[in-house]
């Protein structure tokens, strides 16, 4: 049975393989496609809609326990290229 995670954007539960793990490195949100980067991770559907909702709701800040507002440009660029 595959692991189930909750998308920080839409709050829907989904299988781990259908979500994208995001980590914060130097206050930047970095997509972790292989889910191998050490540290806290937040899970989001690989869509701009869910990512933008999570950014607007400050869900990444809470889930990753970072202070301030993280730079989401790397994540947005990744989703635009691959979405």
- Per residue in 33-54, pLDDT (tens digit) is 999 999 999 999 999 999 999 9
Residue 17 structure tokens: 């393989």
- Architecture of domain 4-82 in CATH? 2-Layer Sandwich (3.30)
pLDDT at 20: 98
* Residue 57 pLDDT level (bands cut at 50, 70, 90): very high
* Residue 64 pLDDT level (bands cut at 50, 70, 90): very high
pLDDT digits (tens, 9 = 90+) for 13-36: 999 999 999 999 999 999 999 999
Give dist(CA 1, CA 31) in Å, integer: 25
Buried b (16+ CB within 10 A) or exposed e, 18-47: ebbbbbbeeeebbbbeeeeeeeebbbbbbe
For the chain, the structural domain boundaries read 4-82
- Predicted TM-score (pTM) of the model is 0.94
| Three-class DSSP category at 2 | coil
Give dist(CA 83, CA 80) in Å, integer: 5
pLDDT at 1: 79
Residue whose structure tokens are 């839409």 = 10
CA torsion through residues 49, 3, 15, 25, sign: positive
């Amino acid at each position: 049975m595959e692991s189930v995670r909750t998308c920080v954007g839409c709050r829907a539960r989904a299988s781990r393989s259908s979500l994208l793990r995001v980590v914060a490195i130097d206050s930047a949100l970095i997509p972790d496609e292989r889910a191998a980067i050490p540290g806290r991770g937040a899970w989001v559907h690989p869509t701009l809609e869910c990512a933008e909702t999570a950014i607007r709701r400050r869900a990444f800040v809470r889930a990753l326990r970072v202070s301030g507002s993280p730079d989401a440009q790397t994540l947005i660029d990744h989703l635009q290229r691959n979405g």
